[in-house]
Structure 1
Amino acid sequence: MPFTLATWNINSVRLREALVAKLLAEETPDVLCLQECKSPVDKIPMEQFRELGYGHIVARGQKGYNGVAILSKQPLRDLGDKDFAGLGHARHIAAELENGVTIHNFYVPAGGDVPDREKNEKFGQKLDYLAEMRDWFASERPGKAILVGDLNIAPREDDVWSHKQLLKVVSHTPVEVEALGATQEAGGWVDITRKDIPEGQLYSWWSYRARDWDAADKGRRLDHIWATPDIAGAGHDSRILRAARGWEKPSDHAPVFATFDL
């Protein structure tokens, strides 16, 4: 049976409850993975989501920071979480669907403003986080799994509005791109979005700093959907709901979708 999955950095699920409800009502994904929920789990506003058919949730939360959640129409089995780099942050959660597919939902650290671990502790934490992800996937070699989330890196030249101008900007530096590539390779992950949309500029994030983000279009593809090789061929119909970036009081991220025939 096919199912559609979406991933979205919501930038506060309580502040943007109405936007989550709008997405669920209009797009009706079977599974929605959220990042940067900025809420303890017991404060996530589930009542409206349940009324829309999303009665199942697996989540980890913190007050005001980080936080990841998986909302689903079908039952989920909580598979736990990993505290990569020992940060004590709610940045990862895993759950299993009834069809046996494991979903990993990640919120990788942004890394601060200076791409130098000696000058910027946050950048070092980001690289350490990715290194531990890489090592874990290398040892686990996951199967029948989907990895989604705000990975805070735009790996390809056409994943940013200007490759040349962003080479020294955190999220597109060569060291970050290399680290993400090593993590992807360690798990054998296939980038489903780029499998379906192999050519052309593609973004999922536009800064709040741009007055007219749509016209300026200085975006980056920071949000990803990957799958293990055994099910990557079942993934299709990838898209980014750019229009959501223009909703009232939006997140600076747009939701990313893919459908899997599993």
Structure 2
Amino acid sequence: MPTKSSTQTLKVASWNINSVRARAEIVERFLTEHQPDVLCLQETKVVNDSFPEGLFRRLGYNHMMLNGQRMHHGVAIISKLPMRDEDRLDWQANGEARHIGVRLENGLRIENVYVPAGGDEPDRSVNPKFGQKLDFIQRMIDWSGRLDGSTLLLGDFNVAPLECDVWSHKQLLNVVSHTPVEVELLTALQNSHNWVDLGRRFVPAPERLYTWWSYRALDWAKSDRGRRLDHMWMSPDVATAAVGHQVIEGARSWTRPSDHAPLITEFAF
């Protein structure tokens, strides 16, 4: 990492875009308005050969690491800065494209992950998707516990861990994304590397902090039945390098929006 005498700034964004080609217009708007150095996307829903590279190159993002899949899942890291040492891990052990990791030239690793949603029924005996989600997070725990080095772990974790991370803790206790077993596993993941939750570092609980609002709401902003499903976690050795964090809620109202809002963290190394 850079020394104090050679301070570098870095702006990293994360966004579950729910199809990068279908939402190219708002991706371009986001990049133009907020100018992140690195953009991590989840649920790109496109194979690598069909990824819209031209959109990003036109805006100065000439470095791309892709892990795509047709019509489903898919993750990508797009950057103005060179990247290397890409890795694609299969924590669900079924070939789905849900992770990509890279290293920046300053030594920081960025791990971009899209955790499975888990279906509707929070019971693995009747809903295999829920079991796959739990197994995915457990494999992440095993991986995280062996990590060595400065790392930014981010993406759509599909779990809202704190009571204040959902619009109604009582009503969502048995709803996938906020069940006790999911929260327990995500807490174990955080503890496995002593990850610092940057969202809650800058917006301490119990302050309101959501990143997702269902398409089912006629007026998402008025009902505000949000959940904090998207996260940015930092290795404890470099967590103090984070100097700002925000959720761009307004993007949820843009033309043909994703149901997730983008997150941005700024760093000074």
CA distance in 2, matches of 1:188, 1:18: 38
Aligned AA (2:230): D
| TM-score, normalised via structure 2 length | 0.96
The equivalent residue for 1:119 is 126
The equivalent residue for 2:103 is 96
The equivalent residue for 1:163 is 169
Q: CA deviation at 1:99?
A: 0.7
- Number of residue equivalences: 261
Q: Does 1:49 align with 2:56?
A: yes
The equivalent residue for 1:69 is 76
The equivalent residue for 1:145 is 151
Aligned AA (1:156): L
Q: CA deviation at 1:136?
A: 1.1
The equivalent residue for 1:255 is 262
CA distance in 1, matches of 2:107, 2:261: 28
Q: Does 1:37 align with 2:44?
A: yes
Q: CA deviation at 1:44?
A: 1.1
Aligned partners of 1:58 and 1:78 also within 8 Å: no
Q: Which of the numbers 194, 198, 209 marks the counterpart of 2:204? A: 198
SS of the residue aligned with 1:132?
helix
Question: What is the aligned-residue identity percentage?
Answer: 54
Q: Does 1:185 align with 2:185?
A: no
Q: CA deviation at 1:188?
A: 1.9
The equivalent residue for 2:218 is 211
Aligned partners of 2:65 and 2:86 also within 8 Å: no
Q: Which of the numbers 25, 33, 40 marks the counterpart of 2:32? A: 25
Q: CA deviation at 1:41?
A: 1.1
SS of the residue aligned with 2:15?
strand
Aligned AA (2:106): N
Q: CA deviation at 1:85?
A: 2.6
CA distance in 1, matches of 2:94, 2:177: 19
SS of the residue aligned with 1:90?
coil
Q: CA deviation at 1:19?
A: 1.1
With 78-87 and 43-52 compared, the bigger mean Cα shift is at 78-87
CA RMSD of aligned residues (A): 0.8
| TM-score, normalised via structure 1 length | 0.98
Deviations 1:125-159 (A, max 9, x none): 00000000001111x22321100100000001111
CA distance in 1, matches of 2:81, 2:246: 22
What residue ranges of structure 2 are gaps of 5+ in the alignment? 1-7
Q: CA deviation at 1:51?
A: 1.1
CA distance in 2, matches of 1:74, 1:159: 33
What residue ranges of structure 1 are gaps of 5+ in the alignment? none
CA distance in 2, matches of 1:253, 1:193: 15
SS of the residue aligned with 2:217?
coil
SS of the residue aligned with 1:258?
strand
SS of the residue aligned with 1:230?
coil
